[in-house]
Structure 1
Amino acid sequence: MTGRAQFIPALTKPYTYFSFYKEWKEKEGFWIRFIAILAVSGLLHALSFFAAYPSFKTISFVESAKLSGAEQELLRFFISLAGGAWGIIVPFLLVQAGAMFLYVFFRDVGYKALFYVMSVVYVLFLIGLAFELPFQFVTGAEEVVQPLGFGFAGVLFFKHGFWQELLNSINLFTVWGSVLIYFALRQLSFKAKSYCLAITIGGSVFWIILYSLYAALVSGQLV
């Protein structure tokens, strides 16, 4: 049986969609859609870097260069271009890392299916990035609080650091992604429901903590 890889049904009805997905021997259209993900990711990251340019201007070597207006715009263009290139690379890194992590626990599902699941989850990341873009254009900040989550609580109750990053990482899209992974694993794996739930929750917590530590260290605000 041949089926078509689709992201919207996988996002909105993961339990039903992946019950059919496991029956398909061939999945048409996945790579076309993955290329579309790369293109959208590149565009959104380029816009993010463009919007965050005011924060880049405060870097010491940029300030000391005393660039003219035209040079500033050229630098902004190159920064946006670098952001777009990074936006094309990062899906491979994140999707593959997530798929390899799950493959350790769900070899019965297979790496290709897990790669597809994580590709759908990455679409949620892009939607979250799109929600943040207007705030970046208004503030000119490199990073902003995710409006659909607990990020504002982190800003209110914590001055800097790990806890602020952690709360900002707990939002509608990370929860939605975890639910999607759980329902996908329920349908694709022969393992028990409790096992799927434990790995989903444990894996989500692990990656959120790891990212929060990384973001806090990069910003120099671990505590």
Structure 2
Amino acid sequence: MIGNAQFIPALTKPYTYFSFFKESKDNEGFWLRFAAILAVSGLLHALSFFAAFPSFKVIHFVVSAKLSAPELELLRYLLALAGFVWGILAPFLVIQAGTLFLYFFFRDVGYKTLFYVMSVIYILCLAGMAFELPFQFTSGGEEVVQPLGLGFLGVLIFKHGFWQEFLNFVNVFTVWGTAVTYYALRQLSFKSKSYCLIITLGTCVFWTVLFSLYAALVSGQLV
């Protein structure tokens, strides 16, 4: 797909990196790195599910089952295994969704190149998960406040609901990802700078609102 794919320069020097970026039939480097993304995603999701087990074991059907301590421990590992499988599938779903969304506005960039850009952005999602893990192991919660963002402010201002979830998504990693996306599109597309900026910011707001609504609805606390 992409020749000589380099994720770290794409994240740290996006303006320079994508200015020299050329789509190639040579897929050297990309799929190996993408496999690493899948492996890390699976591991982080497995650890996340394992850490959040205390919040799962109080679910009604688990309590009703009256499982013994060994059975609960087995269930915890099975849950972690399910998290690993989900972690393998999640990158495909997230990256494909983001790629298709951007492709609607940037057909000139090409689907394969946009897929590569979204793969780079997904690495930042994984970095965000890694920073949340210690808090999950401490609290045992399924969801925790992102330490490098406005999540704590949301907790202080709002008791629960959409706005708390929204502010939790406003963090170092989403801002970083938005910046990388903008510089990538600016270099790869023939569209104007203002067009790239508006679509990038609009895309970020759209997905943040969508995920915030979903998280609020799942928790039963929309408002």
| TM class by smaller structure | over 0.9
Residues 183 and 141 from structure 1, CA distance in 2 versus in 1: closer, same or farther, beyond 3 angstroms?
A: same
State the Cα deviation string for residues 52-106 of structure 1 (Å, max 9, x = none): 0000011011111111111011000111000110011010000000000000000
Q: Does 1:208 align with 2:208?
A: yes
Q: Structure 2: which amino acid aligns with 1:141? A: G
- Runs (5+) with no aligned partner, structure 1: none
Match of 2:167 in 1: 167
Deviates more, 1:15-24 or 1:66-75: 15-24
SS at match of 2:101: helix
Instruction: Check if 1:69 corresponds to 2:69.
Output: yes
CA RMSD for the aligned pairs?
A: 1.1
Q: Is the 8 A contact 2:23 2:113 kept in 1?
A: no
Query: 4+ runs of 1 displaced by more than 3 Å?
Result: 23-27
Alpha-carbon distance change, 91 to 23 in structure 1, aligned in 2, over 3 angstroms:
closer
Q: CA deviation at 1:22?
A: 2.5
CA distance in 2, matches of 1:152, 1:26: 45
Stretch moving more, 142-151 or 61-70: 61-70
How far off its partner does 1:28 sit?
1.8
Q: Name the counterpart of 1:99.
A: 99
1:193 aligns with 2:198: no
Identity %: 74
Alpha-carbon distance between aligned partners in 2 of 1:25 and 1:13, rounded to the nearest angstrom: 24
Corresponding position: 1:83 with 2:83: yes
- Match for 2:153: what amino acid? A
Cα distance in 2 for residues equivalent to 1:204 and 1:91: 17
Which is worse superposed, 130-139 or 27-36? 27-36
Equivalence for 2:183: 183
Pair 1:10 & 2:44 matched? no
In structure 2, the residue matched to 1:145 is 145
Pair 1:31 & 2:31 matched: yes
CA displacement at 1:146 relative to structure 2? 0.1
Give unmatched runs, 5+ long, in structure 2: none
TM (norm. structure 2) is: 0.97
My pick for the range that moved more, 25-34 or 90-99, is 25-34
